[in-house]
Chain A
Amino acid sequence: MVDITKRFVDVVANDKVSFSLFPNEVCALLGENGAGKTTLMNILFGYYLCDSGEIRIYGRIVRLGSPKDAIAHGISMIHQHFTLVPSQSVLENAMIGVEGGFFLDKKKARKRLLEIEKQFGLDLDPDAMAFTLTIGQQQKLEILKALYREAKILIMDEPTAVLAPIETRELFATLRTLVDNGRSVVFISHKLNEVMEISDRILVLREGKNVAERKKSETRVQELASLMVGREILESLQCSDSAAGNTVLQLKNLRVRNSKGVVALDGFSLDLREREIVGIAGVSGNGQTELSELLFGIRRPEEGSIVLDGKEVPGGSPSAMIRAGMARIPEDRISTGVCMDLSVMDNMILVDHCREPFSKLGLINGREIRSWVLDRVRDFQVKTDGVDAPVKSLSGGNLQKVILARELAGQPKIIIACQPTRGLDVGAMEYVHQAILRQKERGAGILLISDDLDEVLLLCDRVIVIYEGRIMGELCSDGIDRERIGLWMSGVA
């Protein structure tokens, strides 16, 4: 890709970006939130047309007018949101769009699929229904789909953001097999350690421009971080240590079932005090999601009680939680965090719109809202075309900033932060960590649910490890023993 430029209404997402990819390599694309990584790859995948610049594949200039063209040229892209048909089997999902001919030759397709699985070490039952797969398996299926389409170039947009550490390791093994078999991979991620682990070459974008290209052997994490952000990043967090105060959140003996009716949380009790950060660590899928949904008020407990600030609150009522002074950062921003078709402004007041001065006697005060939202956008450095731009035009990281700005704006007593920095670049991550610590200094009690153990250890005063919905153990920050946590996370007491 040479001199690619792409302009959206007011922003230049890519400004004369050049990018090359060689056979047998993993090339990482690195950059802050909104740097233009997804846009660049969407252009390569034929999803957007670039305003200027050219794309060459094996030396030949090509026009990629749609993803179909790109697939025909052996390019596949795996978005963060998978595009599987839940009610169909692995085999059927892999075949979609490439059946060829009127009649489905399932026998032949199955044979091919099994061959591919064998060659690349992807073990998936061809007859399993897509909705029964774990996130990691769904991703494997997406890769399988791409290979079934004879992809030579595989683009993966933040593939590890949704994976548990073990799944990430498996993914990396798969990627290695892919490049050893002549494929090339573009890997987008904010996790610098992962980038250093998997990629051969690293391309850094900043504000839509190329800033640097490094071989893995010639660089270090620190350098990459500062190239990305344009300044030194040293995440040294400071927080005046003061004793935790009164209990603000008490969970007693909770038992919760997930949507499939399986018990996801059992005998779960926990105390959270003012000026304290408690971390919930664990491999994803061990009850964290259900715990957060319970606390957000969108799932009811079957047994047990939730006591907020000394008062028992009924389960299943989001507004009761909000009234009790809880700020909530949901794990799934797109489906629960924001209304994608509404503007930044509309999303920013989603929780507080019925509070004065934003509204009075049922009437919205547009002027107050606008000036308040402008302040929030500035404080949280949300990169947007303006407060009237729809949030769906924001990059992944900026979307999260909108939610943070909304939730942390007030003076919450309790903060439930679920994967708050998932998909954020190092700069933004540092910012979020600082924001959380400031809230702690202010006196909030914070429950941090995160798959990122480093983050938990960095921020938390106490760490609770859960496994299969039960608490395995608890450690204080001065007695951290990584090995023990690792064992607990895998269910060994």
Chain B
Amino acid sequence: MVGLSIVRRQTLPPWAEILLPVAAIFATLIIGALPIVLAGGNLFKAYSSLVYGALGTRFNLLETLVKASPLILTGLAVSFAFRARFWNIGAEGQLFAGAIAATAVGVYGTALPSWLVIPACIVSGFIAGGLWAVLPAFLKTKLKVDDVVTTLLLNYVMIHVMGFLLYGPMQAAGSSWPRSEPIMDAAHYPILLPRSRLHLGLVIAIVMVLAIWFINARTVFGYRSKCVGVNINAAHFSGVNTDMTILKTALISGGLAGLAGVGEVCAIHYHLLMDISPGYGYTGIVIAMLGNLHPVGVALSAFFFSCISIGSQTMSRMAGIPVYIEGVI
């Protein structure tokens, strides 16, 4: 009953806001234990190998960080939009849009001076992702079309756009696979540490975390976006241009997802292919929720997700548990 009165209280004390997601994680791990046990695995061994697999060696830790970069970005994208009640569940499509733009620059931008190639990839990826999110935001503000539906549908539209490009104008010469020409070397993200895949993308992700934090806490735009999310009528009444606020929020949100796509092209695959993302955009939704829509929370929960994803590969190898159980967790 004491618990009940805590639930009823209208504001959670700060410790609870931090503790709740942590509790959620533990609950996940405990529930996740069930199928492991059912599959005949040793639970302790399974989880210790999960941790080992994610963090235990230099290589594993760095791989976890590599995986975390796109997840941080898509998580941020979703959380920033949700905060303003722009229900952007189209981060996946925006990620593709960013990847296409980066590939276009990386493959066809040979006329650019080489120092400009990476910035051009980043900027064009951000803008492409952003515009792909502005479209549903525009439909929402001008025509009152539901944003959940449009953002989701645009993911499928983007998959078809990408298919058209990869089987058509952007297809690598002589290839029968849907893949583009490789991007030029100047477009490759620099590697941060020797003997690893840790790349510029992580730095970009962390800078974005700080930038969004700053926007939320210290700027007029961040304040307005929060007000629009909480009560759009009151914001409108108070003279806030709510349509513009939603459009800008969408631009930034989509841009962040676009950056995730840029990173996948310029640091992991070095060309565009159909399965450039194993659902980073959708995972971003869960990450944003678990991170309580706070940028730092998002970064932590993205890291957690990438631990599970990388660690589970080791877990399945060492504890003899099928990989699909990772998907369950």
Contact = CB atoms under 8 A, between A and B. Distances in A.
Interface stretch (A17-25, A72-80, A264-272, A350-358): A350-358
A339 B220 contact: no
Nearest to A330: B237
B220 A354 contact: yes
Contacts of B222: 364
A389 interface: yes
Grouping DSSP codes into helix (H, G, I), strand (E, B) and loop, the B interface class, with mixed when no group exceeds half, is: helix
A296 B220 contact: no
Interface residues of A, number: 36
Interface residues of B, number: 29
A8 interface: yes
B11 A319 contact: no
20 contacts: A65-B1, A296-B237, A298-B236, A318-B237, A330-B237, A335-B234, A336-B237, A337-B234, A337-B237, A339-B234, A342-B227, A346-B227, A350-B227, A351-B238, A362-B220, A364-B219, A366-B218, A389-B11, A390-B10, A393-B11
Interface of A: 8-9, 47-49, 65, 296, 298, 318-319, 321-322, 328, 330, 335-342, 346, 350-351, 353-354, 359, 362-364, 366, 389-390, 392-393
B241 A319 contact: yes
B4 A342 contact: no
Interface of B: 1, 4-5, 8-11, 13, 217-224, 226-227, 230-231, 233-241
Contacts of A328: 237
Given A328-B237, A393-B11, A346 B223 contact: yes
Contact of B8 (A48, A335, A393): A48
Interface centre among A9, A298, A339, A392 (most CB of B within 10 A): A339
Given A296-B237, A318-B237, A322-B239, A393 B231 contact: no
Given A65-B1, A359-B220, 14 more contacts: A8-B9, A9-B11, A48-B5, A49-B5, A328-B237, A336-B234, A336-B237, A337-B237, A350-B227, A350-B235, A362-B219, A362-B220, A364-B219, A364-B223
A342 B230 contact: yes
Contacts of A48: 5, 8
Top 3 A-B pairs, shortest CB-CB distance: A319-B239, A339-B230, A339-B231
A359 B221 CA distance: 11
Given A65-B4, A390-B11, A393-B10, A363 B220 contact: yes
Contacts of B231: 335, 338-341
Nearest to B11: A390
Nearest to A365: B218
Contact of B1 (A47, A49, A340): A49
